[in-house]
Amino acid sequence: MNKINKNIYDEIIKFNLKNNSSPTFLLAVSGGVDSIVMLDVFFKLCNKIKFTIFVSHINYQIHNNSNEAETNIKQYCTKNLIPYEIVRADINNSSNFEAKARKFRYDVFQKLIEKNKIKYICTAHHWDDQLETLFMKHIQNAPITSFRGVLEFNKNIWRPFLKCRKNEILEYANINKLNWVDDSTNEEKNYLRNKIRIEDIPKLKINNPNLITELFQKKDHILKLFKIAELTKAILFSSKLIILSLNPFYFMVDINSILKLDVVIRQIIIQSLLNDFKINLQNMTNLHWKTFWQFIGKRKIGKEFILYENIKTLIDRDNLIIFNPENIISLSKKMKNNLNWYNSKFYLDESEIHQNESNQYFLVDRTYYGKGVYVRNWKHGDLLIDNRSKKNKKISELFIKNKFSKLHKMIHPIVVDYEDKPIWIPSLRHSNCNNIKNKENIVIKWQQN
């Protein structure tokens, strides 16, 4: 058994032991030598150990040999009774083609995974691809956290060839007399990665081989820091120094705790939180990160900072709130029992008599309630007839007095009557409609989750 087979054999045995079952692997096969060798290795091993394979090929129809590659894959799979699916993509390649193609194929992969109950996706990235990635990060002066490079295991994606060199893959292909089809676009130097592979890496291997060693050492160091950051984040969550709100979706981070950490560790933690917004911060510039840490250090309450695209951060006293304003949808709901409102809930009690002026309760006459009581978001200019002074009070002033952040202003419930006039701001103030003297009341209680 050669090195390539041995590496994959050992890992699949681990998968079997871990899952106590034989997994199914979705092989992403482009038709080039790397993925054809991966297909051949997996096929030959699945006859020796328990697992199954399913092949996915995306024909992007962008080079002269596209259809030939598709035919070659069909023939191999048909001959060896391997289930497969081929999808032809029609993607505009005038700009950002690589990103569009990646999204397209992973959408296809996800559908296949769900349809065929597949656990793992395998791609044929190898050691030389890793070197290209690290060198590209190096010349772009990318943030240090992006030097993890290509991960061998990333959620349900496995890159089994990442320790294999290109020459080893070619040697296997030739010994086993495999047929593959080269993608002619890989020779076009207008793509940065192609230029790096064709021109820069050969020169690097001759003129500065020590840099290659340094880049891989840097990668290994960053991987260790990611493990430390993962443990640190778990501690911060368990200590409630990072809090996740699901409705609306945002994170609240204790500023003192995050600033005490090493700058790379805290950067990794913030990046990992943004992953839950489906945002990848690995390409955020060093300057932007520096400006972000300065923003946090100043701690100006109420100030906002655009972290990335539509993701905002907000200083709320000793906390940093990370949120997407687009996730906060304006609502208007008719009051009822067990009414959910973002991260809180309203309850009705038609029997209990409350002689209670707590701002957590509101007592309303049944007839008045019957005309319609609603809950909505705050609007600029909202006024409340104060139960104490009997004068109009700007709700915005109540928010300021109680040091509400902009986010909390956006989600705090405003209870209004059938004419859309505010009658209660839960936890803050009642209007003069709070009917504590009438025994024929409906009691509305507000409770935060």
Helix (H, G, I), strand (E, B) or coil at 146: helix
How many other CB atoms sit within 10 Å of the CB of residue 18? 9
pLDDT value of position 82: 96
User: How far apart are alpha carbons 421 and 3 in whole angstroms?
Assistant: 75
pLDDT of residue 412: 93
Tens digits of residue pLDDT in 363-412? 888 888 889 999 999 999 999 987 777 788 899 999 988 888 888 898 99
Q: Are residues 359 and 411 in the same domain?
A: yes
The CA–CA distances, whole Å, from 308 to 233, 278, 289 equal: 21, 11, 10
Same domain, 310 and 414: no
- Where among 282, 297, 326 does a domain terminate? 326
Q: What is the pTM of this model?
A: 0.80
If asked whether residues 395 and 321 sit together in one domain, one would say: no
Say whether both 29 and 117 belong to one domain: yes
Q: Is residue 47 part of a domain?
A: yes
User: Are 251 and 383 in the same domain?
Assistant: no
Q: Is 305 within the bounds of a domain?
A: yes
Domain stop point among 280, 311, 326: 326
Percent share of the chain, pLDDT over 70: 94
Number of domains in the chain: 3
Q: Is residue 416 included in any domain, yes or no?
A: yes
Per-residue pLDDT at 187: 82
Q: What are the DSSP calls for 202-269, one per residue?
A: HHHHHH-HHHHHHHHHHHHHHHHHHHHHHHHHHHHHHTTSEEEEETTEEEEEEHHHHHTS-HHHHHHH
How far is CA 208 from each of CA 194, 205, 299, rounded to the nearest angstrom?
A: 20, 6, 45
pLDDT tens sequence across 272-295 = 998 877 776 666 788 999 999 999
141 assigned to some structural domain: no
H or E element at residue 308 = strand 304-308
**346 and 265 within one domain:** no
**Inter-residue contact 232 to 265 (CB < 8 Å):** yes
Q: How far is 32 from 57, CA to CA, in rounded Å?
A: 11
pLDDT at 195: 92
With respect to residue 349, please indicate whether it lies within any of the assigned structural domains: yes
* CA 215 – CA 333 distance, rounded (Å): 56
Q: Is 89 within 8 Å of 60 (Cβ atoms)? A: yes
Q: Are 320 and 313 in contact (CB under 8 A)?
A: yes
Does the residue 78 lie in any domain? yes
What CATH number is associated with residue 254? 3.30.465
Q: Which pLDDT belongs to residue 351?
A: 56
For residue 40, tell me if it sits in a domain: yes
Is 20 found in the same domain as 102? yes
Among all chains, which residue has been given the structure tokens 């109950």? Answer: 117
Domain boundary among 308, 326, 344: 326
* 316 pLDDT above the threshold of 70: yes
Mean residue pLDDT of the chain comes to 88
CB 285 within 8 A of CB 143: yes
Q: Give dist(CA 284, CA 311) in Å, integer.
A: 13
280 and 407 housed in the same domain: no
User: What whole-number distance in Å separates Cα of residue 57 and Cα of residue 86?
Assistant: 5
CA 335, 336, 338, 339 torsion: positive or negative? negative
What is residue 226's predicted lDDT score, i.e. its pLDDT?
Answer: 95
- Higher pLDDT, residue 262 or 90: 262
3-state percent helix, strand, coil for the chain, nearest multiple of 5: 45, 20, 35
Whole-angstrom distance, CA of residue 283 vs CA of residue 297: 23
Q: Is 393 exposed, middle or buried (0-12, 13-18, 19+ CB in 10 A)?
A: buried
Residue-range definition of the domain harbouring residue 17: 3-124+160-207
